[in-house]
Structure 1
Amino acid sequence: CAGEDASEEIEATIESEFAADKVKASIRDTIREDLRFGIAADSKSFLHMVSRQDRIADYAQNVAEQLSFRPLMEDDEAREHLAKMAKAVAVTVATYEDLIEALRDYHISGRTKAGADKVMKLIREVNLKEHEADMVEAEAAAFVFTNGEDQPLAAMHMYRVLQRLDDVANACEKAANAFLPLLSK
């Protein structure tokens, strides 16, 4: 956001998304080959959840790619709004990661009520963090459109980056909500 060269971070994001795609393909192969997997979980539901998680990585890669396309608005306040949005999305993703750990613990512990309660709490938190990111995005977008008339292409580009960041947070919310059926079994 500060106008520094982010090419290493962009490349690392792209490589991470590619690694996530390889993991997803490996999981699909395991599900097809290992009949025991179907006993432990509904494989279609599991693949749906994996696809939801992959979407988070896909959108993060899109953000990284978009940042490399063209310069953003040369406006310190607009960049502060973008940085605030990136932080809100990072908090949403971190909360989702906590949810994944809690879900793992829930299954390892034999699906206890305490584990289910923790998972439900974190699903709610992901939803709340996503809503907070929506509010930050709306404020940032309003600023960019109100103050971007001198740099219309850069303003529009910054708006698209804001939207794609919002897509990352939305993907976290959808992935979190995909776990709800697991708690009702």
Structure 2
Amino acid sequence: MLKSNKQFKILALSLGFSLAATALSPSAYAADPIPGKKVVEIMIRQDLFSNQRVIRDISLDLSMEEKALLYMNFEKQPMNTALFNILPTFGSASYQQGDLFGGISMTLLDGLGWSMIAGSLLAGGYSSGYYLWSGMLCFGLGRVIGLTSPFMHAGLYNATLKESLALDGRYSTRLKAESLVNVGWSF
């Protein structure tokens, strides 16, 4: 009995020492820091306009190659959005791009235009020409906004992204987009 009790104590001590060594190692209680590039990617995906200053501060530690790669990955290309907005999609391409102004205005103009055209046709065809032409005007205005709005949004977004990543190599305490009115929407 004494021999087994002594073996039990030796086993317990050796197990305790092995657990203590792993518990006190630095990797057990301190996780590896998240790289700056990953933090910047997360902040851009979350909201570029509201996280602009934080992105700017973190990107100062990144190399120019990493900044250029981030810019190429997150740069908005407006051509596909503009071409898709030609179709009567009620601004869904603008919403997909993140352009709330273009999406809301196209939704309203498409809804109003289709309603007026349908009301004109149901009320007697071409005899109610005022509603027909007003509906076509709303629909056409929606197409004009659908073609121009993605380029304006992408230009502002890309300029803000370039400024936030400090691709020009200069650090400014005042960012251009801070003077613009930014509205945050959440659904």
TM-score of the two chains, using structure 2 as the length reference: 0.31
More helix by share: 1
* Rg comparison, structure with higher value: 2
Normalised by the length of structure 1, the TM-score is 0.32
